[in-house]
Structure 1
Amino acid sequence: MQKTSFWKAGHTPTLLAAFFYFDLSFMVWVILGPLAIQIAKDLGLSASQKGLMVATPLLAGALLRIAMGVLVDHLKPKRAGVIGQVIVIGGLLWAWLGTLQSYGSMLLLGLLLGVAGAAFAVALPLASRCYPPEHQGTALGIAGAGNSGTAFAALFAPSLAIAFGWQNVLGLCLLPLGVALIVYLVFAKDAPSAPAPKSMLEYLQVLKDRDAWGLMFFYSVTFGGFSGLASSLTIYFNSEYGLSPVQAGYFTAACVLAGSLVRPFGGWLADRIGGIRALSMMYFLAALFLLAASFGLKSAVAAVVVFVCAMLSLGTGNGAVFQLVPQRFRHEIGVMTGLVGMAGGVGGFYLAASLGYTKQLTGSYQLGLTLFAGLAIIALVGLTAVKARWRTTWGSAAMTTAKI
Structure 2
Amino acid sequence: MTTAAAGAPQAAVQRGAGSNLALATAAFALTFWAWNLIGPLSKTYADRLDLDPTQVSVLVAFPVLVGAVGRIPAGILTDKLGGRVMLTASCFIAIVPVLLVGLSGDSYPALLVSGFLLGVAGTSFAVGIPFVNGWYPPAKRGFATGIFGAGMGGTALSAFFTPRLVAWLGLLATHLVMCAALAVMGFVVWAFARNAPQWRASTEPALPRLKAVMKLKVTWQMSLLYAIAFGGFVAFSTYLPTMLVAEYGLAQTDAGLRTAGFSLAAVIARPAGGILSDKVGPLKVCLTSFFGAAAMAVVLALEPPLEVPAGTSFVLMALFLGLGTGGVFALVAELVDPARVGGVTGIVGAAGGLGGYFPPLIMGANYQANGDYTIGLLLLAATALLVGLFTVKAFRNVPRPGGPAAPEPADPVSRLLLANERGRAGIRLKTEEPARCAT
Q: Which range, TM-score by smaller chain?
A: over 0.9
The yes-or-no answer on 1:44 pairing with 2:50 is yes
The yes-or-no answer on 1:154 pairing with 2:162 is no
Structure 1 contact 266–320 (Cα < 8 Å) conserved:
yes
Task: State which structure, 1 or 2, has the greater radius of gyration over its C-alpha atoms.
Answer: 2
Match of 2:291 in 1: 284
Match of 1:352 in 2: 360
Q: Distance in 2 between matches of 1:95 and 1:314?
A: 29
Deviation at 1:290? Answer: 1.3
The yes-or-no answer on 1:308 pairing with 2:315 is yes
The yes-or-no answer on 1:23 pairing with 2:20 is no
Name stretches of at least 5 consecutive residues in structure 1 with no aligned partner.
none
1:139 to 124, 144, 150: 144
Q: Distance in 1 between matches of 2:314 and 2:173?
A: 30
Deviation at 1:83? Answer: 1.9
Deviation at 1:275? Answer: 0.6
SS at match of 2:158: helix
Match of 2:85 in 1: 79
The yes-or-no answer on 1:92 pairing with 2:106 is no
Q: Distance in 1 between matches of 2:359 and 2:140?
A: 32
Q: Distance in 2 between matches of 1:298 and 1:262?
A: 25
Give the structure with the larger helix fraction. Answer: 1
Deviation at 1:328? Answer: 1.9
2:395 corresponds to which letter in structure 1?
K
2:185 to 180, 190, 208: 180
Alignment of 1:56-71 (within 5 A): 56-71=62-77
Match of 2:419 in 1: none
2:29 corresponds to which letter in structure 1?
D
Root-mean-square deviation over aligned CA pairs: 2.1
The yes-or-no answer on 1:240 pairing with 2:243 is no
1:200-220, CA deviations, whole angstroms, 9 ceiling, x for partnerless residues? 123212222221111000000
Structure 1 contact 21–180 (Cα < 8 Å) conserved:
yes
SS at match of 1:305: helix
Structure 2 contact 276–285 (Cα < 8 Å) conserved:
yes
Query: Using a 3 Å threshold, how does the CA distance of structure 1 residues 100 and 247 change in structure 2: closer, same or farther?
Result: closer
Structure 1 contact 35–166 (Cα < 8 Å) conserved:
no
Q: Distance in 1 between matches of 2:317 and 2:94?
A: 30
Q: Distance in 1 between matches of 2:304 and 2:204?
A: 51
Structure 2 contact 209–343 (Cα < 8 Å) conserved:
no
Structure 1 contact 216–339 (Cα < 8 Å) conserved:
yes
Q: Distance in 2 between matches of 1:148 and 1:247?
A: 18
Q: Distance in 2 between matches of 1:198 and 1:367?
A: 46
Name stretches of at least 5 consecutive residues in structure 2 with no aligned partner.
1-10, 400-405, 407-421
The yes-or-no answer on 1:377 pairing with 2:382 is no
Deviation at 1:226? Answer: 0.3
Deviation at 1:77? Answer: 1.4
1:64-97, CA deviations, whole angstroms, 9 ceiling, x for partnerless residues? 101111211121111122222211112223333x
The yes-or-no answer on 1:333 pairing with 2:334 is no
Q: Distance in 2 between matches of 1:202 and 1:8?
A: 28
Match of 1:364 in 2: 372
TM-score, length-scaled by structure 2: 0.86
Deviation at 1:380? Answer: 0.6
Structure 1 contact 9–132 (Cα < 8 Å) conserved:
no
1:353-381, CA deviations, whole angstroms, 9 ceiling, x for partnerless residues? 21111111221111111111211111111
1:148 corresponds to which letter in structure 2?
G
Structure 1 contact 30–231 (Cα < 8 Å) conserved:
yes
1:27-75, CA deviations, whole angstroms, 9 ceiling, x for partnerless residues? 1111111011111110111101111111111111001101111211121
Q: Distance in 1 between matches of 2:95 and 2:120?
A: 10
Deviation at 1:99? Answer: 4.0
1:378-399, CA deviations, whole angstroms, 9 ceiling, x for partnerless residues? 1111111112344474366657
> How many residues are aligned here?
397
